[in-house]
Amino acid sequence: MVDGERQQCLVDSDCTALGAGAVCTDSVCAPDPAWACLGRVIWPPPEPRKALVTLRLRDLVTEAPVAGVEAKLCHKLDYFCERPLATGLVSNAFGDLVTEVDTGFDGYVELSAPDKLPGLFFFFPPIDGDREVANLPVIGARDLVLFGNLSGRPALSGRGHVMLGAYDCIWRPAPGVQLTTEAADVAIRSFYLIEKVPSVTAMATDASGRGGIMNLFPGPAALTGSLLDGRRLATVGVFVRSDTVTFTTMVPAP
């Protein structure tokens, strides 16, 4: 006996007629859990408390822990971090930078280290509890030149660059995410890490979920993440500084 209303399938392609995001699970077409939350995301107000944030800093090329990176905790709208919330933060021998913030915090951490490009890490979504950010790259000036050459789009002096990790509804690195910005200039280009090699010809992220946008003008920047079928994850607001790398995450948002 089989339910006449039951949608039968053998492979995901059998579910195409039901719309984007349907997958075959136990012979039934069902929403893909990776993206089932799109259009229904809700971020309830967090319970007021302190949360512990850990940034695990790694060298872009060797992926080794980077100790001695100095940092400040900054308000989101404090462009030059002239009124820091915390100073004197330093990554330990394991490359871990640990700080405490209030839940609801959506600002950034300003990073600096000898022989490395300055970095800005923006929290997205806002902090709602203890959080760990794994494999946050620290980039040398020569590394950026190499990175630009590999991608086919040289990094321009005086511009800023954005790198991010895309995640799905259940916080797994997300393949198939496209990154765009409204900024218009021939030098501005999205890139994706494909098997750890930057590419400007790839259409979207691979299984690592890593990508970014190079050569943005200093100032505010809005970054939009979308799936190849057009469904939007979020638009994330950050800012870039000259010769600085801005980092953030792209996750489904309300």
Total domains, the chain: 2
Q: In the prediction, which pLDDT does 21 show?
A: 61
Q: In the prediction, which pLDDT does 27 show?
A: 67
* Residues 12, 61 within the same domain: no
b/e map 111-133, b = 16+ CB within 10 Å: bebeebbbbbbbbbbbbeeeeeb
Alpha-carbon distance of 253 to 40, in angstroms, equals 9
Confirm whether 205 is domain-assigned: yes
* Residues 121, 177 within the same domain: yes
Residue 137 contacts by C-beta under 8 Å, 6 or more apart in sequence?
A: 57, 58, 59, 60, 163, 247
* Residues 22, 60 within the same domain: no
Confirm whether 120 is domain-assigned: yes
* Residues 22, 69 within the same domain: no
Confirm whether 204 is domain-assigned: yes
Confirm whether 45 is domain-assigned: no
Q: In the prediction, which pLDDT does 1 show?
A: 46
Alpha-carbon distance of 103 to 113, in angstroms, equals 28
* Residues 2, 64 within the same domain: no
Confirm whether 44 is domain-assigned: no
- Whether the upstream peptide bond of residue 125 has omega within 30° of 0, thus cis, is yes
Its domain, for residue 19, covers: 1-32
Confirm whether 43 is domain-assigned: no
* Residues 104, 226 within the same domain: yes
If we measure between CA atoms, which residue out of 175, 235, 224, 232 comes closest to residue 39?
Answer: 232
* Residues 198, 84 within the same domain: yes
pLDDT along the chain (254 residues), means of 10: 59 65 69 91 94 96 94 97 97 97 97 94 97 93 81 87 96 97 89 91 96 95 96 96 97 97
* Residues 71, 137 within the same domain: yes
Q: In the prediction, which pLDDT does 76 show?
A: 95
